Amino acid sequence: NAGVMQNPRHLVRRRGQEARLRCSPMKGHSHVYWYRQLPEEGLKFMVYLQKENIIDESGMPKERFSAEFPKEGPSILRIQQVVRGDSAAYFCASSPNRIGYFNEKLFFGSGTQLSVL
């Protein structure tokens, strides 16, 4: 059973370009969470999605950032018109049910390191 798959592992963009980060959850998992990690810092929640629905996007910047988790295919985190401050590691995590249901825990992908030049 493959783990959470994220691609690309490394993404380099120039200021003003778009970044698209992909996350395929573990088989059987329909809940996806995106987190951002800045150097020397902990993970900051961005968005929580369940198939075709955004459940909680309270951690997402209001502009330039969007996320989706379509019925078919991976979850996508999209950053438009990237700026240097967007440079970070972006982690996706999945679970079969929402966190808090029984003893569910998050399974994390290897992350995408975004570098904005």
Strands 10-13 and 112-116: parallel
Pick the piece of the chain touching another protein (CB under 8 A) from 13-21, 41-49, 60-68, 71-79. Answer: 41-49
Q: Counting Cβ atoms within 10 Å, is residue 35 exposed (0-12), middle (13-18) or buried (19+)? A: buried
Among 21, 29, 33, 86, binds another protein (CB under 8 A): 33
Least distance CB 31 / another protein (angstroms): 9
Q: How far is CA 94 from CA 12, 39, 40, 45, 110, in A?
A: 25, 23, 24, 13, 12
Which residue bears the tokens 């240097």?
Answer: 84
Binding another protein by CB under 8 A: which of 26, 54, 76, 106? 106
Task: Tell which positions 63-102 bind another protein, by CB under 8 A.
Answer: 91, 93, 98-100
Q: Which residue do the tokens 């996007």 mark?
A: 57
Report the residue from 26, 43, 54, 76 that binds another protein according to the rule CB under 8 A. 43
User: Which parts of this chain interact with another protein (CB under 8 A)?
Assistant: 33, 35, 41-45, 48, 55-56, 59, 91, 93, 98-100, 103, 105-111
